A = this chain, B = another copy of it.
Amino acid sequence: MSAEENILKLVDAEEPDGEGYRLQDQVGFILRRAHQRHVSIFAAHIADLTPPQFAALAKLHDVGETSQNQLGQLIAMDAATVKGVIDRLKARGFVELTRHEVDKRRLLVSLTPEGREAVERLIPLAQKITDETLSPLSPKEVATFMKLLAKMA
Q: Is the CB of B34 within 8 A of A51?
A: no
In whole angstroms, how far apart are the Cα atoms of A130 and B23 in the complex? 10
* Shortest Cβ gap from A24 to chain B (Å): 9
A20-65 CB contacts (< 8 Å) to partner B: 21-23, 25-39, 42, 51, 55, 58-59, 61-62
Inter-subunit contact A38/B28 (CB<8 Å): yes
Contact pick for A28, options B10, B16, B28, B133, CB 8 Å? B133
A152 engages B137 (CB within 8 Å): yes
How many copies the complex holds: the figure is 2
**Min C-beta distance of A103 to chain B, whole Å:** 26
Closest to A36 in B: B76
Name which residue of chain B comes closest to A147, CB basis.
B4
Give 26 pairs: A residue, B residue, CB < 8 Å, sorted on A. Answer: A4-B147, A11-B139, A11-B143, A17-B120, A18-B119, A18-B120, A21-B58, A21-B123, A23-B62, A23-B75, A25-B146, A27-B133, A27-B134, A28-B38, A28-B129, A30-B146, A30-B149, A31-B31, A32-B35, A34-B149, A35-B35, A134-B152, A136-B151, A141-B151, A145-B145, A149-B149
Going nearest first, the 6 A-B pairs with the smallest beta carbon separation are A34-B153, A33-B153, A145-B148, A7-B146, A28-B38, A21-B123
A residues whose Cβ falls under 8 Å from a Cβ of B: 3-4, 7-8, 10-11, 16-18, 21-23, 25-39, 42, 51, 55, 58-59, 61-62, 75-76, 119-120, 123-124, 126-127, 129-130, 133-134, 136-137, 139, 141-153
